[in-house]
Amino acid sequence: MFSQVNSDIYVYGHTHVACINNKDNKWFVNVGSLGCPLQTNVANAGILDIKDDKINFEQLAISYNVDKVIKEIKRLKFPFYEGILKIFYGDR
């Protein structure tokens, strides 16, 4: 996925599985999915702190009101909103 990018730290997400790995002195930080949970009301995020050549990553799980988000999506009726609701929120 990162073969065309030369960096020491790669930050990515959207996989719903948070993890941090170090390989060949390169850091791969996956914060997970920022919202759209199927079973929870948590958005994953993180704080990456780089100081004095030291790397620290703090994983955050931020609760939010999923029902309010779903209601707002239905109100806005943006393109493919019904499909988005089904894919990301199931039968909620």
Tokens of 20: 């941090």
Q: Return d(Cα 44, Cα 59) in angstroms, integer.
A: 7
* pLDDT tens figures, 5-61: 889 999 888 777 788 888 888 889 988 877 776 677 888 888 999 999 888 889 888
Domain-located, residue 75: no
The count of structural domains within the chain is 1
Domain-located, residue 27: yes
Which residues of 5-51 form beta strands (DSSP E)?
9-12, 19-23, 26-30, 42-51
pLDDT for 73 beyond 90: yes
Domain-located, residue 77: no
What is the reported pTM? 0.66
Query: How many whole angstroms from its chain centre is CA 91?
Result: 21
Domain-located, residue 91: no
Tokens of 73: 């999506």
Domain that holds residue 34: 9-65
Helix (H, G, I), strand (E, B) or coil at 88: helix
